Structure 1
Amino acid sequence: MRRVSLLLSVVALFVFAMASKSWAIDAQLSGDKVKAGDAITVTGTIDPGQELFVVVATEKMFKPSDADGPKERKELKGGKGGKNAFGDTAIPPVYYVVTSDPTKLATPKSSTKGQTSGIFAFPPFKYEVRVNKLKAWADIPEETKSYLGPIKDEAQWKFIAFTHENKFGINTISKEAPIGGGNARCIMTDYNTEKEAWNKGATLSLDKATGKFTMTMAPYKNLAPDTRMKVYVNGQDIGNFTIEKSTYFFKTANIYMNPLVVFFGAFIIGCLFVIMGAAGGLFTAAFQVTVLGTKGPIGINAANTIKPTNLFLTLCSPITGLMNYFKEKRFAWPVAIFFAAGIVIGAFFLGPNFSAKYLPLKAYKFYLGIICLIIGIKLFMESLPSSIEKKKAMKAIIQKFNAAVKEAKSSGKAMELGKVEFEKFNIIKFDMKFWGETFVARPLIMLLSGILMGMIAASFGVGGGFMFMPFMTTAMGYPMYLAVPIALAGTFATSVGGIAKFSLMGYQPDWIMAAAIAAGAIAGGMVGPKIQKHLPEIFLKRMLALALVIVFLNYTDALFFLR
């Protein structure tokens, strides 16, 4: 009997101690609504002598099966290479711990980031950066584990680490940009006490003698409107607050941005496109990544929103030109049809599947940077005197051809001259007569080349003009007046095939952003030629080449201050 009484007394004391511990926490939030990007302040009192652990996290939990992206869902559930398989583990996609003792949860250290494997796994593409590395669950004290709010077990903790330390996890779930090329914010303390990059914006004061504390931090700036955030102090739920929008919110892109910024940015791209003659999709991709910071919905890697949104521009931009070329009978269909068919095959059946699996944002940015370098070098070469003279000669040929078209239209011969004539079709090679000239058509080569280039273009969410024009003028030997209409058809085909496949896979464009980008770019394309007449071409091309090289250095993390 005495043993039973003793046991009951111990249980009662334990319950009383736990209750006293709960009663000792008295905390308040600075408000129940916080504008996206603004800070929340928590003040209150905990037991004297205790360390402080304030958890700020989204109320709604996320598990891998919630991901709308099929590739993301498969990888999050089953892992990759036997690692990072999270099954049905649920976590808050946005999760922070601001604490007076961060060493209980994380260890500041240097970590290797960037291209850690593959052919580019060498400096400067592979580099060391300071990170706040989360500790293994087994190394966290039991008492501290009880302070982590919605995180209750090792599986959840591993998933949290993945969404803050792995680029795929960050760009698919937590969405907050890594700091200096390292990890996203998770475990923080007072910046004045520990001046590490991940602590910026966090302030914490704790009087251990009285238990009084104040904590201030700003959650991720692109949290969607009406997102409910829960706050825990040393494990106790002390309330929640709701995110209010800061400006216009692009739902699918998952960012706040003034639509006018999107429009005028795209307007500049339209002007640049006129100067370049191609690569409008490439500029738009860089604009989305660098300026707009398109993130994509939670559960979809950012790159898989950027690509289809980008393709909407390349869908709209060639329409006017194509209509004019059809009207003027300047469309060499035996060449164009096979080329466009190949591109549709590559852009629909191959590109998006390959891209979703192998080009998440980290890889997408890196190889987009490589393409920018190639185009930058090409632009610089085009600014050299020899290239300028060659271009003048090409312009003279085009002007002569345009004059012939105009004369043919006025004399009523356009229908006759614009008719494609050939004696016998051959899938390998045949001669065709078009506008008084004889050209060699190679349908099979155009088809196979179209498949390859369509796959590449759709993989990066670009039209592909930067590939199409050199291929037709250099490899196939077609003059510009024959190549340009075919290239436009190829760009349109890439966009149709790519958007259709991405959408069927569950990767939707942000249609509103896409429309704003397309409108701005088309307007820029109309104004660009007028501006171009008053600006020195050599200077413009070299400035653009320099800009593309900077994009390359940024996207490949080659310069530490651009990471």
Structure 2
Amino acid sequence: MFFHVAGVTVNPIVIIIWMAFVGFVFSTIGAAGGILAGVGHITIFGMKKANTIKPMNQILTLISPIISTPLYLRERRLVVPAAVSLGLGGIIGALLGSWFSTNFLKEMSAYQPIFGLITFVIAGRMWYEMTPGFREKQQKVKKATKAFEEKVKELKAAGKMNEIKEIGVQFSEMGINNTFTFAGESFRYNVFAPFIAGVVVAIISAALGVGGGFLLVPFLSSALGFPMFIVAGTSTMSIVISSLTSISNYLRMGSQLDLPMVGFELVGILIGSYLGPVLSKHIKGIYLKGFLAVVLTYIGIGYVFGPMIQHAFGFWII
């Protein structure tokens, strides 16, 4: 099937299968959705229009945040003022990043190596996540998260909804400096920190056409010291704001979406997102993450050093 805007001929079944893989990975690992969508557009489907690829990547990375944000809000696992600060910064960063990318990364020869560099960064993060120290830390986080979710279910079943406020995010001070409690612990941050981070992360994610969660999660957990219970929800809300801004600005500046292709891609993403939680019970996460780290490392090498390898050895590795 020929897709006019994308300028490629691709079997729709190939599109659905690849995007199902993307949805599966994102729903089980929670990262690399935008990168894998970009790999599909560039390498699997053969698209050559960089300014079409970027907003199409970001549309696909929006599905999970849009679905999950209301759920985090309901369970009070979202620091709304911090997410708003990230989002406001994200609006500025998304406008700057999409403008810069439209004008200076409009050719694949310029865009692809930079995309490859960020692929390296995510691959490096995945290699780190397979280290024993990180895995031990994550096991503790998962146990604590499960215990919190069970407590919420108990309170709902007992009709004690008012008590959820006591364990969920509850602000005691709002302004330039914000203080809130979560599960009995107190946390404090300055409102300008997430705003500045939102600007920087959105510039990078908008310029490359990715979600930005791989940068926001370490910032919220390490720089601000938020517990992982509330990091995911806070980052997803800001991703929705910055990604919508970026997509809108790309379209305003003349980028086009191949809507028929996006339709097939969304089918694949939804299938993969459904199968992820089901199949992940039978696949060890460390194996999937290791496979993905190898794939992303290979892709990064190909995108960054492919032309040099071809010039030196006479073949293209990707």
Q: TM-score, normalised by structure 1?
A: 0.52
C-alpha separation in 2, matches of 1:549 and 1:435 = 39
2:243 corresponds in structure 1 to: 495
Can you list the C-alpha shifts for 1:277-322, whole angstroms capped at 9, x where unaligned? 1120111011110101123xxxxxx110100111111222322111
Q: Percent identity?
A: 34
Deviation at 1:477, TM superposition (A): 1.1
Aligned letter for 1:283?
Answer: L
Can you list the C-alpha shifts for 1:431-463, whole angstroms capped at 9, x where unaligned? 112453322132211111101111111111111
Pick from 485, 507, 510 the counterpart of residue 258 of structure 2: 510
**Quick check: which has more Rg, 1 or 2?**
1
Deviation at 1:552, TM superposition (A): 1.0
C-alpha separation in 1, matches of 2:162 and 2:39 = 42
Pick from 53, 59, 63 the counterpart of residue 316 of structure 1: 63
- Residues 265-414 of structure 1: matches in 2 within 5 Å? 265-295=18-48, 302-347=49-94, 349-360=95-106, 361-414=108-161
C-alpha separation in 2, matches of 1:539 and 1:362 = 33
1:455 corresponds in structure 2 to: 203
Contact 1:352–1:498 (8 Å) recurs in 2? yes
Contact 2:130–2:290 (8 Å) recurs in 1? yes
**Count of paired positions:** 308
Contact 2:16–2:264 (8 Å) recurs in 1? yes
Contact 2:84–2:238 (8 Å) recurs in 1? no
Deviation at 1:415, TM superposition (A): 4.6
Secondary structure of 1:533 counterpart: helix
Contact 1:417–1:435 (8 Å) recurs in 2? no
Contact 1:380–1:542 (8 Å) recurs in 2? yes
2:174 corresponds in structure 1 to: 425
Which structure features the higher share of helix residues?
2
C-alpha separation in 2, matches of 1:389 and 1:490 = 28
Query: What do you get for the CA RMSD once the two structures are aligned?
Result: 1.8
- Residues 548-563 of structure 1: matches in 2 within 5 Å? 548-556=296-304, 557=306, 559-560=309-310, 561-562=315-316
Whether 2:193 is the aligned partner of 1:445: answer yes
Contact 1:417–1:436 (8 Å) recurs in 2? no
1:211 corresponds in structure 2 to: none
Deviation at 1:367, TM superposition (A): 1.3
Please identify, of 476-485 and 536-545, the stretch whose mean Cα deviation from structure 2 is larger: 536-545
1:524 corresponds in structure 2 to: 272
Secondary structure of 2:244 counterpart: helix
Secondary structure of 1:278 counterpart: coil
C-alpha separation in 2, matches of 1:441 and 1:315 = 27
Contact 2:115–2:208 (8 Å) recurs in 1? yes
Can you list the C-alpha shifts for 1:389-431, whole angstroms capped at 9, x where unaligned? 121111111111111221222233445534754344222x231
Q: TM-score, normalised by structure 2?
A: 0.91
Secondary structure of 1:438 counterpart: strand
> Per the alignment, do residues 420 and 373 of structure 1 end up closer, same or farther by CA in structure 2, a change over 3 Å counting?
closer
C-alpha separation in 1, matches of 2:70 and 2:170 = 21
- Residues 9-28 of structure 1: matches in 2 within 5 Å? none
Contact 1:335–1:442 (8 Å) recurs in 2? no
Can you list the C-alpha shifts for 1:453-500, whole angstroms capped at 9, x where unaligned? 111111111111111111111111111111000111122122201111
C-alpha separation in 2, matches of 1:397 and 1:420 = 16
Can you list the C-alpha shifts for 1:4-56, whole angstroms capped at 9, x where unaligned? xxxxxxxxxxxxxxxxxxxxxxxxxxxxxxxxxxxxxxxxxxxxxxxxxxxxx
C-alpha separation in 2, matches of 1:471 and 1:424 = 22
Contact 1:417–1:434 (8 Å) recurs in 2? no
Aligned letter for 2:309?
Answer: L
Whether 2:152 is the aligned partner of 1:436: answer no
C-alpha separation in 1, matches of 2:102 and 2:162 = 45
Contact 2:124–2:293 (8 Å) recurs in 1? yes
> Per the alignment, do residues 453 and 413 of structure 1 end up closer, same or farther by CA in structure 2, a change over 3 Å counting?
farther
C-alpha separation in 2, matches of 1:541 and 1:525 = 16
> Per the alignment, do residues 404 and 441 of structure 1 end up closer, same or farther by CA in structure 2, a change over 3 Å counting?
farther
For structure 2, the 5+ residue unaligned runs are none
Considering Cα pairs closer than 8 Å and 6+ residues apart, tell me whether 1 or 2 has the greater RCO.
2
Contact 2:78–2:231 (8 Å) recurs in 1? no
Secondary structure of 2:179 counterpart: strand
- Residues 148-227 of structure 1: matches in 2 within 5 Å? none
C-alpha separation in 1, matches of 2:136 and 2:146 = 15
Can you list the C-alpha shifts for 1:72-100, whole angstroms capped at 9, x where unaligned? xxxxxxxxxxxxxxxxxxxxxxxxxxxxx
Contact 2:76–2:169 (8 Å) recurs in 1? no
